Amino acid sequence: MNDFPVLTTLGVLPFIGALIVAALPRGRELLAKQIALIVSLAMLVLTVAIAFAFEPDAAEPFQFVEKTPWIEQFGISYAVGVDGIALALIAMAVSLAPVVILSGWNDADDNERHRPQTYFALILALLGCIVYVFVATDLFLFYIAFEVMLFPVYFLIGMFGRGQRTYAAVKFLLYSLLGGLLLLAALIGLYVVSAQQLGTGTFDWTLLAGMPIDPDTQKILFAGFFFAFAVKAPMVPLHTWLPDAATSATPATSTLLVGVLDKVATFAMLRLVIPIFPDASEWAAPFVVTLAVISIIYGALVAIGQTDMYRLIAYTSVSHFGFIILGIFAFTEIGGSGSVVYMVAHGLSTAALFIVAGYLVKRRGSSLMPSFGGVQRVAPVLAGFFLFAGLSSLAMPGFASFVGELTVLIGSYQRWPVAAAIAVIGIVLSSLYVLIMYQRVATGPATENVKGMRDVFPRELVAFAPIIALTIAVGVFPRPIFDVINPAIERTYSFLNVDPVEPDVPASDAIEREVTD
Amino acid sequence: MSAATAVRWSEGGSQVISEASGMFGLTWLLIALPLFGAIVLLVGGRRTNSFGPVLATLLVGFSFVLGLVLFFQMLGQPGEERAFNQSLFEWAPIGDFSVDVGFQLDPLSMAFVLLVTFVGGLVHIYSLGYMADDPDKRRFFAYLNLFVASMLLLVLASSYVLVYVGWEGVGLVSYLLIGFWNAKPAYATAAKKAFVMNRVGDIGMSLAIMLMVTTFGTTAFSGVFAGAPEASSGALLALGLLLLLAATGKSAQLPLQAWLGDAMAGPTPVSALIHAATMVTAGVYLIVRSNPIYNLSDGAQLAVVLVGVLTLLFGAFVGTAKDDIKKALAASTMSQIGYMILAAGLGPAGYAFAIVHLLTHGFFKAGLFLGAGSVMHGMDDEVDMRRYGALRKAMPITFITFGAGYLAIIGIPPFSGFFSKDKIIEAALADNIWVGIAAILGAGITAFYMSRVMFLTFFGQKRWADETHPHESPRSMTVPMILLAIGSVVLGAVLVIGGRFVSWLEPVVGPEEEHDFAIPVLAITAIIVAVSLVGVALAYVMYLRRPVLVEAPTGSVLTRAARQDFFQDAFNESLFMRPGQYLTRFLVFFDNRVIDGFVNGSAAAIGGGSARLRRWQTGFVRSYALSMLAGAVLVVGVLVLVRL
């Protein structure tokens, strides 16, 4: 590994891109879009290079580490690095970036008050924040990125959204700030504890993880961290900002928000909550698992009852986040690795759903399902994409989401059989919300509403094709992802004190006996 | 990798599973050929319209030829050494757990490979004629190819997870094809219903896989079956019941049977291939494949037998009341699969005959459906048998091939169904007299309702309108019908006489259990045939001697109930669908008003009233956010100072 600051490059690149794009004068909209696309593609290339240089089985927790003292009085440093989990999520985020930019190419063209330049600059800035959240190994740097991230989203919804966009943007911001405030308070508390334990206070993950903390203090700090992430994830009952945000935002924003940005929360549960508060995590696990299962079932049931496609997709995500959190708090390797694959898969399936729904809404001017009907008759390819996105959401085997869902269920059953058995009902509910949506929008005779609706045009096709390719690739051959994340998951759970799960009748023993007999 | 792993399953078969080499190294190609076709046709889009259907048909044909070559290779091996494992790659390796994408080709999967590719190939050929004028013909063939690939994956998979992949794959194609003409809203609903009910069954499959990993640490057949004898009886019972739940969904058995009748919305070739010959029998495959688990759990076997018996009677009764030819055949499929499930539940005494009946049924029922399709083709898509009559003159080939299937299904010797059904009933009688009697009764009803179909369609007076001009179907349709009819005639004898299939399957399911009867076996056979003939006679009296009304008479209470599938839909609706709808409606209300209302209310309260809330919404939120951030920093500072 050479000393080239590759992660900083990856993180700063979109910010530079954002500044350039924002500075472009009126009339240069196309150039702005092109620059945004080029920057996102450059990030993708850089990430691919990082992935190839990454050594999954390295001994140290983080690779491509950079560390420079920043605010020395408070033990804050600019420290970045990636483990397998962060790498997988960055790869997912960066793969979606060009897709989102391409699919949202004309999102801001009709906006009377704000320029496309601003739109794409905000998207790039958001991408920069997302990278920093995943690469930060200093908790203060993480917090900064976590909070700053809110503002591009806020403006993306508030300036470029539709309908009750201001209400949705404010709701999103207030929720997030409330969570962020608690996170900040807990972070300070952690800093204070670290000062007591280590002599000097620090925000350095490598020092904080596994640091002995008094159990009661752990519980309090855990609560602060967990609340912030439960809002972001979002878990029932802290989820109601999401449907409003998703309904008002552009599909590109929703994809980044729900598909990528919200993963920060589940990522942080693995990265921060479990290694730093292992005792409290074990203590709270039954509660968290219960909430996760409620989210799975509740989110799916409410999704079934929606009439607005965007709201429906948002609620499916509430359900899916329940699966992810269930997997994380299973404290088994299968559950943990499964949850990370689920995060990647959910990014892909959510992107697929929002983007196709966006194509439909753009044509019809409404996101209400009754405004459609019979799309398959007039735009068969578009309907096919819609079905593909739906199947991805309901975890059809061969699709990425199946890998995540199955492994999460297996892994959580090992530790929490009852919870996992209830969660399985989610597979029936997901088939209902997906197929009901497809039936209402795409099947039946072509209604007056959709007469003359154009099928997908080339730009839309090019934007959507990579999602199909990635979804199938991960679904059929997920092994490279597992190879990268397994060691990181193992390290994460090594901070815990739980009993490892062993099969009752290990089949490998039985086969050996047969062979030797 | 070791060259060969000997696997001896408890009380079951024993086979040496070796690494696939030579021709067997091409096992993957069986699946890859139709999969390739599906991808070309789906991705290629309209460009492949001209050659797509023919390409799809050829690819399935190649798969069949390859399967045939492998079959003869396999015949050259000693019985115990007919199992081959081909591991392609590791799918999800996590710690000690892993799922291999690998195939197991053994006598059981071989039987399915030949059935699926042969019947599948014939249905492709038939569809070239049947779907000739459909604008979406290419898409239809793409789905058919995808189906063949998924079904082959299901039967060739070497682990339960991979079975599940194929299982869902065929379920998806079934959904796509039931709803192929989803411009009709009812068809779209039928497709959704099938998928969702199958997913209910999949709860069983998912839970079984989860339980397997917890119990054995793997879902590979070799590992699970080797570990099974040491697993707790509770785990084995649970596994058996969960796999049975999965099977009831896919095979339309009670209590998840209600989707199959509606599935007849799909084009008739689909009904023949997917909803008669192959996919719906996947549940039988699953149970027979899992024989090392069922052999160890009497409770699970009892449940399998019960499901089988109840469904075979249920389907048979429903079959007597349907006027829609396809729905009558669908009820019959349900009933015949009930026989197979029953046989599978009987353990080593029945496994082989479950599969024999599955194979003969695959031929005669596919033939019957293709015949029904041919009738509809000549009758302007009319499906009501009360509007048929006397078609034997207009459609002689259809009449003869359908007749062969008819004689096979009602078990007239020496047609194929006779051999397979007779053996199942004997095994059932040996197991439990009442189960046996129920199976004999079922045979009688089968003979009745199938004779009714036969008489209403091909005999009696013509009851169709003058502007209808029934005609024989084109060669592309009749040739597959003829081939299937030949199978309906001879396959049973080929498989059963001399115990050929029993010894073929022995390495997988163990030796057949002999059973003793108080009366000679021949007498039992005679009784079964006699009961069937009574059914035929009854139908003759009711539908040939008496005039048939074009409009269905009201009928007795029982007839009306059977016509309504014994109120299965009303039952499901009142017990699950309506309460579910109320629940979701309530939860949507709850979410909007209670949870979100609480949040908004408290936000307003904290913010000092809604007036200020409104002000935030006009763009001042930036300053608010900044002040909040500043406040947070202040809190932090204070905390730090106080603590330090």
Give the one of B2, B216, B625 whose C-beta lies nearest to A506's C-beta.
B216
Nearest chain B residue to A144, by CA: B629
Residue-averaged pLDDT of chain B: 86
Rounded to a whole number, what is the distance in Å from the CA of A38 to chain B's nearest CA? Answer: 28
Q: Which of A378-392, B67-81, B395-409 has the lowest mean pLDDT?
A: B67-81
Instruction: Concatenate the DSSP letters of all residues of A48-77 into one string.
Output: HHHHHH--TT-SSS-EEEEEEEEEGGGTEE
Domain residue ranges of chain A, discontinuous segments joined by +: 6-516
User: Are B188 and A443 within 8 A, CB to CB?
Assistant: yes
Does the global pTM surpass 0.95?
no
At residue B16, φ and ψ (nearest 5 deg) are -95, 115
**Residue of A165, A170, A183 to mutate for B, most B C-beta atoms under 10 A:** A170
**Percent of chain B whose predicted confidence (pLDDT) is above 90:** 46
Nearest-angstrom CA–CA distance, B15 and A516: 15
Summarize pLDDT for B292-315 with one digit per residue, the tens: 999 999 999 999 999 999 999 999
ipTM for the assembly: 0.93
Q: Nearest residue of A to residue B631 by CA position?
A: A181
In this complex, the residue of B185, B210, B227 whose CB is nearest that of residue A410 is B210
Q: How close does chain B come to A333, measured CA to CA in Å?
A: 7
Taking alpha carbons only, the member of B478, B495, B468, B321 closest to residue B408 is: B495
Identify which of B588, B599, B619 has the shortest CB distance to residue A306. Answer: B588
> Strands B100-105, B83-90: parallel, antiparallel or unpaired by DSSP?
antiparallel
Yes or no, beta carbons of A396 and B172 under 8 Å apart: yes
Give the H or E element holding residue B6. strand B4-8
**CB atoms B7 and A403 under 8 Å:** no
Query: Is A177 in contact with B618 (Cβ distance < 8 A)?
Result: no
Rounded to 5 degrees, φ, ψ at B384 are: -80, 115
What's the mean pLDDT in A324-333? 94
pLDDT above 70 covers a percentage of chain B that reads: 91
* Contact at CB, B639 and A189, closer than 8 angstroms: yes
Question: Tens digits of per-residue pLDDT, A94-113?
Answer: 999 999 999 989 888 887 78
Residue B628 binned pLDDT confidence (cut-offs 50, 70, 90): low
User: pLDDT class for B8, splitting at 50, 70, 90?
Assistant: low
Identify the residue with better confidence: A177 or A112.
A177
Could you count the other beta carbons within 10 Å of the beta carbon of residue A442? 27
Instruction: Answer whether residue B1 shows pLDDT above 50.
Output: no
Percent of chain A with pLDDT over 90: 69
Cβ contacts of B161 on chain A, cutoff 8 Å: 406
pLDDT computed for residue B627 by the predictor? 55
Report the pLDDT value the prediction gives residue A320, as an integer from 0 to 100. Answer: 95
Q: How far apart are CA A87 and CA A131, in angstroms?
A: 10
Residue A95 contacts residue A152 (beta carbons within 8 Å): no
Closest alpha carbon to B55 in B67, B73, B43, B40 = B40
Rounded to a whole number of angstroms, the distance from the CA of A468 to the nearest CA of chain B is 11
Classify strands B14-19 and B83-90 as parallel, antiparallel or unpaired: parallel
| Structure token digits, residue B48 | 């492949």
* Interface size between A and B, measured as CB pairs under 8 A: 232
Can you spell out the DSSP letters for B442-505? HHHHHHHHHHHHHHHHHSS---S-TT----PPPHHHHHHHHHHHHHHHHHHHHHHGGGHHHHHH
Do the chains contact at A185 and B636, CB–CB below 8 Å? yes
Of B200, B230, B621, the CB nearest to A170: B621
Determine the Cα–Cα distance for residues B515 and B524; give it in Å rounded to an integer: 13
pLDDT tens digit string along B492-514?
A: 888 888 888 888 888 888 887 77
| Cα–Cα dist B465/B467, whole Å | 6
- Output B57 or B626, whichever has higher pLDDT: B57
Question: pLDDT-based confidence at B12, cuts 50/70/90?
Answer: low
Q: How far is B45 from chain A (nearest CA, A)?
A: 9
Q: How close, in Å, is residue B528 to chain A by CA atoms?
A: 42
Q: Is the pLDDT of residue B610 over 70?
A: no
Displacement of CA A99 from its chain's centroid (Å): 15
Q: Which residues of A touch B585 (CB under 8 A)?
A: 305
Let me know the angle formed at the C-alpha of B282 by B276 and B288, rounded to the nearest 5 degrees. 125
Q: Can you tell me the distance from the alpha carbon of A447 to that of A364, in angstroms, rounded to the nearest whole number?
A: 12
The residue of chain A nearest to residue B644, with distances taken between CA atoms, is: A192
Q: Which amino acid is at B617?
A: Q
Mean pLDDT calculated for residue range B335-359: 92
Taking only the tens place, the pLDDT of each residue in B106-160 is: 999 999 999 999 999 999 999 998 888 888 899 999 999 999 999 999 999 999 9
Predicted local confidence at residue B541, as pLDDT: 87
pLDDT(A85) > 60: yes
B606 contacts on A by Cβ (under 8 Å): none
- pLDDT digits over A443-499, tens only? 989 888 888 888 888 999 999 999 999 999 999 999 999 999 999 999 999 999 888
Say whether A409 and B91 touch across the interface (CB within 8 A): no
Interchain contact, B196 vs A428, CB within 8 Å: yes
Interface touch A338/B636, C-beta < 8 Å:
no
Q: How near does any CA of chain B get to the CA of A397, in Å? A: 5
